[in-house]
Amino acid sequence: MKRILFLFLLASSYGAFAQDLPENPEPGKCYVRCTTPDVYVNEDVQIMVKPAYKVLKTYPAEYKTVTERVLVKEASKKLTIIPAKWGTETVSYISKEKSSELSVVPATFSPSSETIEMKPAYAQWELGAPAPDCDSSNPDDCRYWCYKGYPAEYETFPKEVLATDASTVSAPVAERGDSYVKKVIVEPARVEEVEIPAEYDEITKTVLVKDAYSVEETIPAVYKTISREVLKQKGGLTTWREVECALVEYNALPINWNLASYTLTPEAKRIIDENLMPVLQQNPGVKVELASHTDSRGSSESNQVLSERRAQAVANYLVEKGINRSLLVANGYGESKLKNRCSDGVSCTEREHAVNRRTEFRLIN
């Protein structure tokens, strides 16, 4: 099913492409479809190549030298101590003060007596004798009661009474005196003060007259007038044109490139002028592929870059010669399309390696 679909798509694309081929072609002939180049005109454009900027010019500070009298030691005083002068004097004092001496006079007594009530006076009822004229046969019926009083009872005791109480008799004790010698100030100590004057010196110092400053100057922007290409008329495809069949295949440009270089030598430019320029002049509007190759020596990455730069160098030279850049296709293939067995790791002669170092061109649609 996939194969049928692929064949259908292939047939469809071929039919669409075939409809655009030249009509009534002759057998054995080759055709290319040319393009009319874009038409460009030059116009002047002013660009600023350097912006305006400021330039600062600085001026140093200005100084002057001055002499100044300065204090190097302050005024002071010198103090001299004059010691005191001493003398002696005798001082009397009481070593023991006067007092009194007491003697005791004991108490004296005298004989006396004192009567003490031993039993106080009292009265009581007492039953008397029966009355003689009592009519009752009971003798108790004829008794009477009397309230009879009795005097107090006393007793006298001997005793001593205080004649004179105890007392003291004071006798004076005389004071006792003494003396001592002490030092006394005849002339007190004093301080004599002497003034010491200040000391001065002269110094030289640099003082600022005017500080450093800057002057600003504005440098105007720099402009450059350049000429650039501006598209005036868009080109396009034209009708098919018959060309030599050999030109649609790769044709050699026998340029001998210097080792690891992509700079065109005068000899290389002559080869381009003689081999490629006539083809382009005879087939105006035809696109050209410029293909550059290297040998296998060196890394594949560096060889790829080198081949691209060599192809581009040829294209740049053709543009300088007046060929429209839109008609040039510069391709580098590095070491991917070797023409012999001299791949990586294979020992080859310099002549064999040179076969692979080539630049080619062909006409393309």
Cα 256 from Cα 354, distance rounded (Å): 9
Cα 274 from Cα 251, distance rounded (Å): 13
Q: Which residue has the tokens 């002759």?
A: 26
pLDDT of residue 335: 92
Cα 302 from Cα 313, distance rounded (Å): 16
The share of the chain scoring above pLDDT 90, in percent, equals 22
| Among the listed residues 144, 145, 146, the one whose alpha carbon sits nearest the alpha carbon of residue 134 | 144
Angle at CA 105, nearest 5°, toward 99 and 106?
Answer: 140
CB 280 within 8 A of CB 363: no
CB within 8 Å of 157: residues ≥ 6 apart = 113, 114, 115, 116
Cα 359 from Cα 315, distance rounded (Å): 12
pLDDT over threshold 70, residue 167: yes
CB 103 within 8 A of CB 171: yes
Encoded tokens for 30: 């080759």
pLDDT of residue 301: 94
pLDDT over threshold 60, residue 88: yes
pLDDT of residue 33: 54
Tell me 131's DSSP state.
P
Instruction: Give tens-digit pLDDT for 97-114.
Output: 888 888 888 888 889 888
Instruction: Name the residue with higher pLDDT: 177 or 361.
Output: 361
Q: What is the mean pLDDT of residues 12-40?
A: 55
Cα 125 from Cα 147, distance rounded (Å): 4
CB within 8 Å of 69: residues ≥ 6 apart = 200, 201, 202
pLDDT over threshold 80, residue 22: no
Cα 114 from Cα 116, distance rounded (Å): 6
Arithmetic mean of pLDDT over the chain = 81
Q: Which residue has the tokens 């020596």?
A: 297
Encoded tokens for 352: 């064999």
pLDDT of residue 87: 86
Instruction: Give tens-digit pLDDT for 256-291.
Output: 888 888 999 999 999 999 999 998 888 887 889 999
Beta strand 222-233 with 108-119 is: unpaired
Bridge partners (DSSP) of residue 73 are 199
pLDDT of residue 192: 85
Q: What is the mean pLDDT of residues 55-68?
A: 88
Phi/psi-derived region of residue 304, left when phi > 0, alpha when psi is between -120 and 50, beta in every other case: alpha
Q: What is the mean pLDDT of residues 143-171?
A: 83
Instruction: Give tens-digit pLDDT for 233-246.
Output: 565 555 555 555 65
Cα 225 from Cα 44, distance rounded (Å): 6
pLDDT of residue 311: 95
CB 148 within 8 A of CB 122: no
Please give the biggest Cα pair distance in the chain: 226
pLDDT of residue 246: 56
The share of the chain scoring above pLDDT 70, in percent, equals 78
Q: Where are the alpha helices (DSSP H) in 264-323?
A: 266-275, 277-282, 300-320
CB 124 within 8 A of CB 147: yes
CB within 8 Å of 226: residues ≥ 6 apart = 44, 45, 46, 47
Encoded tokens for 188: 């007190």
CA distances from 93 to 89, 104, 185, 241 (A): 13, 33, 21, 163
pLDDT over threshold 90, residue 3: no
Angle at CA 125, nearest 5°, toward 120 and 127?
Answer: 135
| Among the listed residues 46, 4, 6, the one whose alpha carbon sits nearest the alpha carbon of residue 227 | 46
Instruction: Give tens-digit pLDDT for 181-239.
Output: 888 888 898 888 888 998 888 899 888 888 888 888 888 988 888 877 666 656 555 55
Instruction: Give tens-digit pLDDT for 111-156.
Output: 988 888 888 988 887 776 666 666 666 766 676 677 788 898 888 8
